[in-house]
Each structure stands twice: as C-alpha cells, then as structure tokens.
Chains A and B, each alone.
Chain A
C-alpha cells in the first residue's frame, strides 16, 4: 500500500468516526492552545520587561556621556560619569567604526528658559524656570529609548515642536494619566545669550513659541523637553553668538551632549562598552540587569513550556487510549485487510497515520486558538495600560512556537499511536473470519 493510499484510508477512517475524532482532536487542540498561549504571553512579557529595563529602546543600547569614564564605575549599569570631556565628530566617527556597533545616534542639548501658561495644583502661576532642551535626530527615533504616551513625537526637523517628559507633568502637579491635558499647549522657550548693556552684561533670550505635541515616557538625555536636533542647534548657535560664547552661563561646549550607541546584539554590549571606555568616554547600559532578568525569565519560560508539554502528553495518552480502543473494535476490519493481502506494515502504517492526523489537526487548531487567546489577553492588558497612560504591549508569536506546536503535536500523536499500530499490525488475519 502506498503512503498516499494509506493517508487516504487513514483520513477516511478518521472521518468515519467523527465523535471520537472530534473529542481526541479537542484534547490535542486544548493542549496545543495552552502551550501556544503560554509561550506567546511569556515571550511578550519577556520582551516587555526587557523593554522596560532598556527604557523602551533597543536592548543593545548604550548611553555615552560627554565625560571621561570613572574608573570605579566602568562595569556598573548606571555608571556615574567622570570629568566632562568634549564629544565631537571625531569621537562619533571613531565609535561608529567599532566593528560591533550597529548605529550611533548623537544627542545634543541646550539650557533654555521656559515660560508656561500652565498653573500648578493650587492654581498658582508657574514662574519661568530653566531646563534642558534635548535634541535628537528624530528620523532615527526608533533606535532611542523614547516612547510617546500621549500625543506624538516632534516631527523631524521641526523647530517649534517639543515633547515633554514625566518630569514636566510633575512640575505641574499632574499624574501620568493627565498627560493628554498638556498636549497642544504652547510654551515660550528661550535660549540665552550674553550681551552688553550699558557697560554691564546681561542675558538676552531668543524666544520660540513652541507647541507641546506629546508626552514621552522616558528621557533621551537629562532634560524634560525633547526636540529635534535642528531646534537645539539653533538654540546652541544663539548662545554661542553671545559675548565670549556666553561662557559665563556655563553652558556645555561639547558639540554633542551624548551619544546613544546600539550594539550588534545584546551579547556584544559588554564588549562595545569596554571599547568606548578605552576610547575615553563614560558609558551606561542595563546589561547586568537585563542578563539577570533574562535568566529568570528563561526559567519561567521553561516552567510554562513544561505545563504546556505535560498537557500535550496527556492529550497524546488520550490518543493512545482512543486508538487502542479502535484496534479492539476493528479487529474484524483488520483481519479483512490482511485477508485481502495487506502486510503487517500496511496495517501499521494506516493506524499510525490515523494517530498522526489527529495530532496534526489538533496542533494546527490549537496554535490558532492559542494565538487568539493570547491576543484577547493582550487586548485586555493593553486596555488597562492605556488607561494608566502606560505603553502597551506588542504580542509576538515566535515562528518556533507555531512550528513547534504543530510538529510537536503531530510527533507526540505518532508516538502515542505507535503501540496501537503495532497491536493492529500483529493481529492475526483469522480475525476476519467468524467462527465456523
């Protein structure tokens, strides 16, 4: 009997007994669904946790400060920087050319005066204050640990749009859930310039009426305002045009305030940090924390996988039981098959394929159902997170889970069907004949 004929006979036989087939497939489906849902949720949770640890940016992200490294802090996740050191294009190029560096995003910042029309919790006017305006290339914002929780990020190149951080909300006495309230409001933002006035020096501001277009969950650099690199460049140029380049204001003279470096993979972070330290700059990255968390999450994944696999094994035992019962019920049919010339191997093949069919169908259905369950859970969680003005989760269904669920279910079913198939194959052909 060819495999094709055996598959057809097996499929027809499964269809012939729909009640038993549906129940058996249901058991496999539930088990595969459990496995798929658990692994999807755990993978997503792992991604989310690691994203939080990396502040929403790439896991392999490293912050480089315009400062020399502090020898005692080199291996720390949040290393304190040493003495200030100019971070210029030469350093940026040198770091970009490191073999394990995938991308380098420069960060610039400038001190600004801010006038806000907002009032605090007691309805008192908030006086002008000084804050850092942090500028990044917004065309590469996906590489940075920046996530909007209300509104949007400033448009690339925009010179009058800013995003604010949690710190600004706290200044106004607002909670994270109140973030949408500040979106759309206008601020007056000025970069300072030292000028002479009647024999004295004073500070003149170049004021920009900027619109708050969004609220972000993290800080790209030290500062409550995020803008385009172009807007910050205008501010810095204005300041440098002052007397003695406005040095009296003690503004940073480093061309770049910092860099955000993305390594080629999380396993290269330590190496890249060491290389940047050797170049002469202080770095920080949550690599130790991420490594520890990854180990714990791996254990969680193993435990969840075990639960799912145990469920699959139980379902497979159900297949075995159902197939053994089928062999007992179909003794005469098996005898007839042998009477008309089927070899033991042919009978074995048919019964094994019946078991495999049940496992395969259950695996496919279970993967779909499991994904749907994970999606439903994700929607509920995202609804809660959105209400709390927190960043939502993005479900990820690894292809390995899909393939593993289907293939695993099928293989387990084949394994479960082996004993019944052997029993069927060994049945004597005389079972076809009644007593005479």
Chain B
C-alpha cells in the first residue's frame, strides 16, 4: 500500500526504486504501469491520466507505452523465444512479415539470434531475461518498468542484463524505472527513490543525471519513436573480459 507518494520522472530518465521487501516498490511500479489503479491521486504518463482510462484503454496503454520486465521473467512456457516476442507484436496487430523482421532484430540486439527457436525452459536465467527485455521493447515503449529484473540471476547474468537495461534510455529514448533491493545496482541509476512502509522517504540524484527536475510530459529531443525498431548502438553487449564468465 502506498501513502502519499509524489513522483515526477523525466522522459528518458533512469529511476531506481529501492527499499526492503514490503516497502511498496512493486506496488508503485504496478500503479505506474497501469497494472493496478491508484486509489487516490493521479498517475499521468506522457500526458495521459491513467485514472480516467477504461480496462480496454489501459490495455492499449500497456501495449503501446509500457514494456515490463519481471523478476520471474514472465515468458510463456508454451512459446519459443521468438514467439514470446512475436506475441507482443501480435497484440499490437503488427503484420506477420513486419513481426518477423522486428523479432529478428530484437533477438540480435539482445544477442540471442541463435536461440530464437528455444523455449524458455531451454534457456538460462540470463537468456530468459534478455528475451523478456526484447519483448518489452517490441512495441517501442516510452516507459520500461523492470521489477527486480536480476532477482533470480547469477552475477554474470546480472551484469549482462543490467548493462542491457541501462542502455535503454540512451539507445531507445525510453524512461527506465527499475525496482531493486540491490543498493549497488540502485547506485547506478540517475535517480533513486527509497520507499519504506509505502512512503517515499528519501530521494537521491546520481552524478549521471542532470540536476533539477524535468517537468513531466516534456519529451527530450532525440527520443526514438515507439514504432521504430531499436538501433543496434548501445544494445550490443560488450565483449567479455578475459577471465570473465559470460
């Protein structure tokens, strides 16, 4: 349960929500992403007030504006990696030929082009999360919400996934909100909001973030439109260092 959380996030920003279990981090994420309505107050994303949307409109909002990355990966076990991504495109009524091209590009971007036909059970945790990230980007969202994305990963996979996520604001122009209980990970965000008992108790701004608050609704220039496929720059994973396990 949240209590009096007042938050503005600039477009293209990187916000980390931290706090102990039960602090309300995932709840806040759900409210931001339109998964659950706010009982009071308002949620405005890109100028759109979620409070006035119907269930159908909320589904459209989630489909077109938000990309989710879950701790449990959230992949459908019955579908392959490519089909999981294609499902998101299917929901957006993208034509089959365009879908296939987009899926191919996304899998390449996350370094899993050769794992397209594998089902989640055949993928490692890190690979599953990268597929989830690719799915989240399928419809060109302006907001990516990641809920403990590294919670079930080992260190090596964590590093790769974090690198991938952190490149999203720069490479895709989308706003990244990441929930984590890992303070070291949170330190990497340009902004951090600590929650305790449903309240925002501390907000810190990292050195990588411009000072001041960017008014909500202002879209910085250079943001890649949602309908364009992701560019390759920044999404390519850095080569492994000698001795480092992938």
* Contact present between A and B (CB < 8 A): yes
Interface residues of A (CB under 8 A from B): 1-2, 5, 9, 12-13, 15-16, 332-333, 335-344, 346, 428-430, 432-436
Contact code string B84-121 (vs A, CB < 8 Å = 1, else 0): 00011011110000000000000000000000000000
Min Cβ gap A358→B in Å is 15
Q: Judging by beta carbons under 8 Å apart, are A344 and B56 in contact?
A: yes
The verdict on A333 contacting B76 (CB below 8 Å), with A341-B59, A435-B22 known, is yes
Q: Judging by beta carbons under 8 Å apart, are B91 and A1 in contact?
A: yes
How long is the Cα–Cα vector from A5 to B66 in the complex, in angstroms?
22
Q: Judging by beta carbons under 8 Å apart, are A332 and B72 in contact?
A: yes
Among all A-B residue pairs, the 10 with the closest Cβ atoms:
A436-B26, A341-B63, A12-B78, A336-B74, A16-B78, A430-B36, A436-B25, A429-B35, A5-B90, A341-B91
The verdict on A433 contacting B22 (CB below 8 Å), with A5-B87, A340-B63, A344-B56 known, is no
Q: Judging by beta carbons under 8 Å apart, are B72 and A436 in contact?
A: no
Interface residues of B (CB under 8 A from A): 21-30, 33-36, 55-56, 58-60, 62-64, 66, 68, 70-72, 74-79, 87-88, 90-93, 135-136, 139, 147-148, 179
Residues of B within 8 A of A343 (CB): 55-56, 59, 91
Residues of A within 8 A of B66 (CB): 339
Residues of B within 8 A of A341 (CB): 59-60, 62-64, 88, 91-92, 139
Residues of A within 8 A of B60 (CB): 341
How long is the Cα–Cα vector from A428 to B62 in the complex, in angstroms?
13
How long is the Cα–Cα vector from A433 to B93 in the complex, in angstroms?
25
Residues of B within 8 A of A342 (CB): 59, 63, 91
The verdict on A433 contacting B26 (CB below 8 Å), with A340-B91, A341-B64 known, is yes
Residues of B within 8 A of A344 (CB): 55-56, 59
How long is the Cα–Cα vector from A95 to B92 in the complex, in angstroms?
73
How long is the Cα–Cα vector from A78 to B91 in the complex, in angstroms?
73
Q: Judging by beta carbons under 8 Å apart, are B62 and A338 in contact?
A: yes
Q: Judging by beta carbons under 8 Å apart, are A12 and B79 in contact?
A: yes
Given contacts A9-B87, A341-B60, 9 further A-B contacts (CB under 8 A): A1-B91, A9-B79, A13-B76, A343-B59, A343-B91, A430-B35, A432-B68, A433-B70, A434-B72
Residues of B within 8 A of A337 (CB): 76
The verdict on A436 contacting B147 (CB below 8 Å), with A338-B62, A339-B68, A341-B62 known, is yes
Q: Judging by beta carbons under 8 Å apart, are A433 and B30 in contact?
A: yes
- A10 and chain B: residue at smallest CB distance: B78
Residues of B within 8 A of A339 (CB): 33, 35, 62, 66, 68, 70, 74
Residues of A within 8 A of B77 (CB): 16
- B74 and chain A: residue at smallest CB distance: A336
Set B25, B64, B93: member contacting A2, Cβ < 8 A: B93
How long is the Cα–Cα vector from A5 to B99 in the complex, in angstroms?
12
Q: Judging by beta carbons under 8 Å apart, are B87 and A436 in contact?
A: no
Set B56, B92, B179: member contacting A436, Cβ < 8 A: B179
Q: Judging by beta carbons under 8 Å apart, are A13 and B59 in contact?
A: no
7 contacts between A and B (CB under 8 A): A12-B78, A336-B75, A342-B59, A342-B91, A428-B36, A432-B70, A433-B147
Set A338, A340, A435: member contacting B87, Cβ < 8 A: A340
Residues of B within 8 A of A429 (CB): 34-36, 58-59, 62
- A11 and chain B: residue at smallest CB distance: B78
Min Cβ gap B179→A in Å is 6
How long is the Cα–Cα vector from A2 to B62 in the complex, in angstroms?
18
Min Cβ gap A169→B in Å is 69
Min Cβ gap A272→B in Å is 63
How long is the Cα–Cα vector from A13 to B88 in the complex, in angstroms?
17
Min Cβ gap B185→A in Å is 15
- B179 and chain A: residue at smallest CB distance: A436
How long is the Cα–Cα vector from A336 to B67 in the complex, in angstroms?
11
Q: Judging by beta carbons under 8 Å apart, are B78 and A1 in contact?
A: no
Most-contacted residue by chain B among A5, A342, A432, A433 (CB, 10 A): A433
Q: Judging by beta carbons under 8 Å apart, are B35 and A432 in contact?
A: yes
Residues of A within 8 A of B62 (CB): 338-341, 429
The verdict on A433 contacting B92 (CB below 8 Å), with A340-B63, A428-B36 known, is no
Q: Judging by beta carbons under 8 Å apart, are B68 and A340 in contact?
A: yes
Q: Judging by beta carbons under 8 Å apart, are B28 and A436 in contact?
A: yes
How long is the Cα–Cα vector from A435 to B71 in the complex, in angstroms?
11
- B19 and chain A: residue at smallest CB distance: A436
Residues of B within 8 A of A346 (CB): 91
Residues of B within 8 A of A2 (CB): 90, 93
- B147 and chain A: residue at smallest CB distance: A433
Min Cβ gap A324→B in Å is 19
- A425 and chain B: residue at smallest CB distance: B55
Q: Judging by beta carbons under 8 Å apart, are B59 and A432 in contact?
A: no
How long is the Cα–Cα vector from A343 to B90 in the complex, in angstroms?
12
How long is the Cα–Cα vector from A403 to B7 in the complex, in angstroms?
61
Set A1, A9, A13, A436: member contacting B29, Cβ < 8 A: A436
Min Cβ gap B68→A in Å is 5
Residues of A within 8 A of B72 (CB): 332, 434
Min Cβ gap A109→B in Å is 76
Residues of B within 8 A of A5 (CB): 87, 90
